[in-house]
Amino acid sequence: MIVHRNCYGTILLVWLICLPLSFLFLRFIPWALISYTLTIIPMFFMGFVLFFFRVPSRVRVGAENVVTSVADGEVVIIDKVFEPEYINGECIQVSVYMDFFNVHVNYWPIDGEVSYYKYHPGKYMLAYLPKASELNEHTSVAVKSQFGDVFFKQLAGTFARRIVCHAKPGNTVVKSEECGIIKFGSRIDMYLPLDADIKVKIGDLVRGSESIIAELRK
């Protein structure tokens, strides 16, 4: 199993807390049933944090005009909205919510060139709330493709206190390659052209790089 390189510090911190706790439980609680039961809890978190920050092997799907999901999770919003930051017009918003059990690595949704990137400090509201898109800490990234622009946001949630994004304006990016990671529960908002053929519905479970979100007009 491969662990994301930007998460080594978080994993080390969890282990430095859990290992001494396990030792204290085993050393100072004389009742074996209680000490071993309590030790299971920090040991579980040590294993879970490795599992949580795993980097799975994913494959590229679809033709060049196909937009794939940036993240694993559940589709929670599909709506026609006005996007004022980059598109400055109406578009289709598709949002994917990631819970604690989803892979939190993010993937480029289409081939193209990074035309815009901005980091926004903000609050840490629950990521599934509609206002989180505007008020929470997030990054904004636009990829200019030959079929149109794909704009997306990586949103922090209540427990997500760090967003990693590899976007640099002018860089060429390849669909299905890693573009960053959000630590703990969070959300991805994708903004697509009005004429995009949306292939998902609310409630669908999607996988980053392997689930088709939409097809852009050729």
What is the three-state SS of 22-49?
HHHHHHHCCCHHHHHHHHHHHHHHHHHH
Give bridge partners of residue 142 from the DSSP assignment.
116, 151
The amino acid that residue 211 corresponds to is S
133 carries an active-site annotation:
no
Residue 14: φ, ψ to 5°:
-60, -45
Distance of CA 134 to the CA centre of its chain: 17
Nearest to 139 by CA among 119, 157, 123: 119
- Which residue is catalytic, options 22, 133, 186, 209? 186
Instruction: Tell me the catalytic residues.
Output: 186
